[in-house]
Chains A and B, each alone.
Chain A
Amino acid sequence: MSKKILSVVLSVVLLAVLPLSLASCGEANPNQVTLNVFNWGEYISNGEDGSLDVIAEFEKQTGIKVNYTTFETNEALYNKMKTGGVSYDVIIPSDYMIGKMIQEDMLEKLDFSNIPNYELIDDRFKSSEVAPYDPEGAYSVPYTWGRVGLIYNTKYVTEPVNSWNILWDETYKNQILMFDNSRDAFGIAQFLLGQSVNTEDTAELEQAAALLQQQSVVSPVYAMDQILEKMPSEDAYIAPYYVGDCLTMCDENEDLTFTVPQEGTNLFLDAMCIPKGTKHKKEAEQFINFMCSTEVAYANIEYIAYSSPQVEAAAQHKEYLVQEYGDEIAQAIYPEDLSNTQMFLTLSEEANQTMTDLWVKVKTAN
């Protein structure tokens, strides 16, 4: 009997230790520093099609080894960090998640004397007006940014498009795609209603949900990644999406174009941060600095096709866009004026629950 208990205990212990032993395999050479970098999938220039292999270049220049892994959502990143196991040295979360991590004391303050290239980051993204998630600008270095726009097919939509209203237009019944996540979908309704996208007022959220419910007249199809396929294949005529991805879709189908509606839109930004508990803070800052150099920032933005906050890379990228796509598109990707945008901030748990519940109701009714 006691033997049995012993073997149960042993098995459980073995199971628990397994991930640890796997994680420690990486650091064979004690003198070589290994940086654990955790980024979004397909979010760095990787040497494909003659582009710069950023990670390999960094390893070559500095002799620091990079263990590069990717995540799919901010929530997945957050959960990984909370449950522990592996410690990361550089992470690239989005605006609202950085705000949440700062609140929960999960990030290290950066030593900007180790990041001289921080000078090259556009001052607009250092102001607390545009980037309220990190008001002191002490924890994060912007990596990419972008806005939400409307992509549409000019073959079927001939009228000028400049308002989110078109997503409610019965003329395009059955041909409209809508964001399949509550925050982005509510955002659109809130811009139309002139609300703050960060409101926690139940009455305002209900008002936005009611507007979303009215979309039933056009029988919208809810989708996220599938938009990337459905728009170029002309399975739908109009969809909201992130402008960087809109540009990619326009490459696939010449009839597609996009705009950023007049009511305002969501500005999102992903930034590099160093989590608490890192053993290689200096090397991590070195990595962040490397990512901010003009050559690397340009290679990355060319690959990702969002907007760069690094001024020199942005200028280069904008010039390329003007040549390739014309002034209007270049303006949409690199607008001079960001006053008509709002950034998502972390909502309280109660407001989040209210929004999720309302969202389920909207979707099950439509």
Chain B
Amino acid sequence: MKKRAALPYIVWMLVFTIVPMIMVVYFAFTTKDGAFTLENLIQVKEYAGTFWESIKLGAVSTLLCLLLGYPMAAIMARSKAHVQRTLVLLCMMPMWMNFLLRTYAWMTILENNGLLNSLLQLIGLPKLQMINTSGAIVLGMVYNFLPFMIIPIYTVMVKLDTRLVEAAQDLGCNWLGVFRRVIFPLSVPGIISGITMVFVPAASTFIISKLLGGGTMLIGDIIELQITGGANNLNLGAAMSLVLMIIVLITMMVMNVFGDREGEVALT
């Protein structure tokens, strides 16, 4: 019975995850005529600089999301039930609007003659160059991906047993100690899924950089170009995707090892 219920998910995974993955690997190791080659993967190293830039911007955005999202999640988890519901709703609400539209809106806000600069001028301050900088790309990513950081951390924190906090306080621990030795270690699983959910899309984003970065090319843009551009080189695009997946996978593995150790500290 249980097995049968899982069947749709297995089929789903098969059709939409496993098969595409196999296709990516197949394309990455073949030429356009279908012959085996390593040429695509060798070519990928030409784009090492772009890979680095994408990972760097992705990491910065993830860190900022964590710094902003963690306190927010903690505040939400400790609020009254009806306030919690409202806050969760507010968190999700931007996602009701299309991601592309929201990014376009940021373009209008950050432009040289945009809303923000008009406002600055109105109060007699000099204009700032905001659009077409890497700062604008990071801002776009943080704005778009912040809910993906808040929600997992919040979900873990709201289930946190308050008796553990009380016990620590009873035993004479100050608030910093309670946070460092009880709350933080117990919220690590939420942090890890939050980081995963932000870092993966941030490192591979392609439209934010185009719209807010003035056509800056991150690795996602280059992959897109292989597919939609005149070259139509799916094989090179697949090789880049594969390398990106491996880099992300390694990053995640390193983080999980770190996370496991944190978890052990909490138990001892």
Q: Which residues of A contact B (CB under 8 A)?
A: 4, 7-8, 11-12, 15, 73, 75, 174, 178, 180-183, 221-223, 226, 229-230, 233-235, 347, 349, 352-353, 355-357, 359-360, 363-364
Contact = CB atoms under 8 A, between A and B. Distances in A.
Interface residues of B, number: 36
Given A8-B11, A233-B113, A234-B112, 5 more contacts: A7-B7, A174-B129, A355-B230, A359-B225, A364-B50
Contact of B113 (A4, A8, A234, A359): A234
B162 interface: no
B215 A180 contact: yes
A349 B32 contact: yes
Contacts of B211: 226
B217 interface: yes
B230 A183 contact: yes
Contacts of B205: none
Contacts of B32: 349
A356 B49 contact: no
Given A11-B8, A352-B232, A221 B49 contact: no
Interface in B147-167: none
Nearest to A181: B229
B32 to A, nearest CB: 7
Interface of B: 3, 7-8, 10-11, 14-15, 32, 46-47, 49-50, 107-108, 111-114, 129, 131-132, 210-211, 214-217, 222, 225-226, 228-233
Contacts of B111: 230, 233, 235
Main secondary structure of the interface of A (DSSP, over half): helix
Nearest to B8: A11
A182 B229 contact: yes
Contact of B217 (A4, A183, A226, A360): A360
B246 to A, nearest CB: 21
B15 A12 contact: yes
30 contacts: A4-B3, A7-B7, A8-B11, A8-B14, A11-B11, A75-B230, A75-B232, A178-B215, A180-B215, A181-B229, A183-B230, A221-B132, A221-B214, A222-B214, A226-B107, A229-B107, A233-B113, A233-B114, A235-B131, A347-B230, A349-B32, A349-B231, A355-B230, A356-B226, A356-B229, A360-B47, A363-B216, A363-B217, A364-B47, A364-B217
A349 to B, nearest CB: 7
A364 B49 contact: yes
A247 to B, nearest CB: 22
